[in-house]
A and B are shown apart, each in its own frame.
Chain A
Amino acid sequence: MASPEIDALTQALARLPGLGPRSARRAVLHLLKKRETALAPLLRALETVNARLVSCHLCGNLDTVDPCAICTDGRRDARLLCVVEEVADLWALDRSRLFPGRFHVLGGRLSALEGVRPEDLTIDALVGRLAAGGIDEVVLAMNATLEGQTTAHYIAERIEAYPVRVTQLAHGLPVGGELDYLDEGTLAQALRARRPLG
């Protein structure tokens, strides 16, 4: 039996994505056993982030400074702008370190069923960034879902007046994918996007 305080900690952890009650209990037990090496640093890190957490007013990324570290990174190509649906997508693309430009987080995607309209997203802010100039290419990195693609089409239409190259992430075979296991939709996209070899 644990005290109410420890129970409360377990319940708070159990609400996190990827953790259930059982794994939360294990995490709590680990933190209690390693108080100095695990609990104290975690507490400090949480307090610091909680005190400083801000949303970047330029791109919508979550960071402890505003503008965020990506927007102020002088090594990044300011002429390239990648538009993503959520902060998680930004972090996924940035983790790969393949994209050398900057980002813009929409804060979701257009959805008829969930009632998300263009004014609920940061599309106006994106248009404002393009109007300010200095951007040559916009990469629309939306999810390959119907809602993601309708959002991409809508944005492409909204920004067509600006002299920027608008591109989209390729759709098709995933790395390590076997044709036999792929659905016909993915195969059709891959066939459409085929290119000369050699």
Chain B
Amino acid sequence: MAEENLKIASLNDKVKAEIDTWVAKYPEGKQSSAVMFALKLAQDQNGGWLTTELMDAVADYLSMDKIAVYEVASFYSMYEHKPVGKHKICVCTNISCMVCGSAKIVKHLEEKLSIKMGETTEDKNITLKEVECLGACVNAPMLQIGENYYENLTPEKIDEILDGLK
């Protein structure tokens, strides 16, 4: 299976070095505080999703119980446990976005990409994900791709964004 081949079981040196800079920010012996960033780095290393092996590697690297890492990784919605597309579009459907028309945005996205929320396009380019409030209510409706927020969305603006993701 191609997916199986994708599985990376260990953290690479660059990721480890970056985790170290996070560990250094906390008092000695409290290295587990760096778990969230470590998981993010591990996820980025693996193309946007976490495998059990990677979570175990994080647990070992931070001397944590494995289950404690699973708890964190399964609690926060920004960690993925299945392969995702190259771009992950996180659409907020919480109350502010909802009253400002997020339903229309979702519908437009789904039609345009021919996938439903939570699915990935066939070319593995884009994954759609419904998320809770991202704190940009002032310019609702909004969505997030990678580390960028796109706000005051309209169907036209979506087309423009999607064109940029090819």
Q: Do A and B come from one complex?
A: no
Which residues of B are interface residues toward A (Cβ below 8 A)? none
Which residues of A are interface residues toward B (Cβ below 8 A)? none
